[in-house]
Structure 1
Amino acid sequence: MDGMQGRTGLRAAQVTAAGEVSMVEAPLPEPGEGEVRVKLEGCGVCASNLGPWAGPEWMSFPLEPGELGHEAWGVIDAVGAGVDEGRLGERVAALGFRGYATHDVVPADAAIPLPAALEGRPVPAEPLACGVMIFERAQIRPGDTVAIIGIGFLGALLTSLSARAGARVIAISRRAESLDMAREMGAAETVPMEDHWTIMEEVRGLTCGDGADITIECTGHQWPLDLAAEITRESGRLVIAGYHQDGPRQVNMQTWNWRAFDIVNAHERSREKNLAAMRRAVEMLATGELQPDRLYTHRYGLEDVGAALDATRDKPEGFIKALVVMG
């Protein structure tokens, strides 16, 4: 059932080729049985978009209108058969895949209700849930020394969660401004990600020669993955949080075997676990356990999705995370 009168059509950003996007219009999609339509307020831009945006050989263009956007939030404006009409007008975070648009249709259980405490705030719950799941799988405890490699949105979020849990965080990142952000989010020490051996020596010096109890690699690149193994202590834990999507990786199995650390591939593919983590993230955001607003550094209109993706790739000064906000 439609909850809007005098409605307009769908507007969406459509990636038509590598690095190219066009605006398209279409009739509003109607929710089917068990579905809701969400009038979107905004959508976060994820670094995982950059692989498709670069146009690898395996991609087929054009993508579906709105596709790549999966960090959206908004208000339910129509419900399908079998869905409580009382949900009309409910503000939600959505686990969908066409969030670079004015509207998206998702299963009703993938529209997570947002409490009144979050009114007016951006709520890209999906990436917040990623941070929560990685933190939980890392099993960080008070007194642990945690090295976090790569202080972008995810690394900064994990820095905050780890510090709040009573861990000592060593933040390692390429940009000086990212290290400043890490200190703001609770890092005890920061190390510039410049020279492999220098970083190893600095971390050893900060840990009495042992290495970090837990190392979280957040970059998705080969060198930081190598570095993560080198700075994790024997019988520690190496957590792979980076999204490695540009080809195979090689690891030094002699080092991995000798160090006998646990290896955690922190990405989840279970829909149920992702939705549960989104609900936890929303609750933590409402109570102040998550404080990500400082990390939303750049905002773009729907017609500027291409610029938002370019900024996510190029990281202009001060960049942490981009949001696409619907006008």
Structure 2
Amino acid sequence: MDIAAKPTVSRMRAAIVTSPGHIAVETRALPKPGPRQVRIALEGCGVCASNLTPWSGPEWMTFPTEAGALGHEGWGTVDAIGADVTGVRLGDRVAALSYHAYATHDIVDASMVATLPGELDGKPFPGEPLGCAMNIFSRSNIERGQTVAIIGIGFLGALLTRLAAAAGARVIAISRRTYSLEVARRMGAAETIPMDDHWRIIESVKTLTDGNLCDRVIEAVGKQWPLDLAGELTRERGRMIIAGYHQDGPRQVNMQLWNWRGLDVINAHERDPAVYMQGIRDAIEAVRQGRIDPQPLYTHIYPLERLDEALNTTRDRPDGFLKALVQY
């Protein structure tokens, strides 16, 4: 038997991608949670760059999407609980790992929610990307005194800059936008380099490191050129961390260079939901303690009806953009 708060609404609103670059917002009946599930009245959802490939309409994409689909960075309040749920209560404010969060409500397994402490009341909390940042940082094995290059200073790169600098590393931030480099400096980057010319960047890093290159390089863009650049900037026996790739086609790797330098190459994308959730819990604690403050990085806020604009802005990345949220 499911448990629900006294309902104030009986319907939900959900975005549907009807064709490449187009959405509709429809009203649907509220779903009911099944066994070991909860329903969340969502406050909002972050917009992820991984949405951009399906948004563009590749051959494998099917339209229209399911209601709320593509959204997976939601947070809100538990308003209904299914049978056999423990550890989650009605009224808990939570971050959730769910997959139909471009909607006012979503259903999620109870094991895929993390309770938000009172210190975060009123603040947006897209748990999935914040958890990704914590998991990538953990996999990077960054230590005090190391030199760390971070290629691509968007939301993820900015958080990783802050985490690496706080760990005592010297961070070299590389990004194509002046605004992003300014953010990196605020996050603790010791040096910044415009991402404009492949060989000039390599020579700049060689100069900054007395020819030693970087102990750690995090590739947070997801394109071919930054991947090539990451290999070039990693020292012998260094660690290169791939964090930006979103399954939008194959990549080539310079195996000759990777082999000659004896690089450790880490794919920092997690697939185990339990690891995802641990990252979200780690992010909650990091924000609560003040180790990271994502609030200034949420630069663009949209209502659900303007999800298309939020996706296009995430794609086009105008000056001053880092992260879009859709709030309900």
How would you bin the TM-score normalised by the shorter chain? over 0.9
Q: Does 1:148 align with 2:154?
A: no
Amino acid at match of 1:263: V
Structure 2 residue 34 is matched with structure 1 residue 32: yes
Of 71, 82, 90, the match for 1:88? 90
The aligned residue for residue 184 of structure 1 is 186
Question: Quick one: which of 203, 210, 216 aligns to 1:201?
Answer: 203
Sequence identity, in percent?
A: 58
2:309 — aligned with what? 307
| 1:1-327 matches, cutoff 5 A | 1-84=3-86, 87-326=89-328
Deviates more, 1:123-132 or 1:241-250: 241-250
Work out the CA distance in 1 between the residues paired with 2:58 and 2:38: 33
For 2:327 and 2:283, the matched residues in 1 are separated by 21
Structure 2 runs not aligned, ≥5 long: none
Separation in 2, partners of 1:173, 1:23: 35
| More deviation, 177-186/84-93 | 84-93
Q: Distance in 2 between matches of 1:129 and 1:90?
A: 19
TM-score by length of 2: 0.98
| TM-score under structure 1 length normalisation | 0.98
Local SS of the residue matching 1:127: helix
Gaps of 5+ in 1: none
Displacement, 1:246? 2.1
The letter for the 2-side match of 1:103 is: H
CA distance in 1, matches of 2:233, 2:202: 6
The answer to whether the Cα contact below 8 Å between 1:67 and 1:97 also exists between their aligned partners in 2 is yes
For 2:190 and 2:313, the matched residues in 1 are separated by: 29
Question: Is the 1:4–1:78 Cα contact (8 Å) retained in structure 2?
Answer: no
SS of 2:4 mapped into structure 1: coil
Aligned residues: 326
For residues 70-110 of structure 1, the C-alpha deviation after alignment (integer angstroms, 9 at most, x for no partner) is 00000001111122597111100011001100000101111
Give me the whole-angstrom Cα distance separating, in 1, the residues matched to 2:211 and 2:202.
Answer: 10
Contact 2:38/2:107, CA 8 A, preserved across alignment: yes
Work out the CA distance in 1 between the residues paired with 2:214 and 2:146.
8
**Runs of 4 or more consecutive aligned structure 1 residues displaced over 4 Å after TM superposition:** none
Matched AA of 1:200: I
Deviations 1:280-314 (A, max 9, x none): 11111111112111100000001111000000001
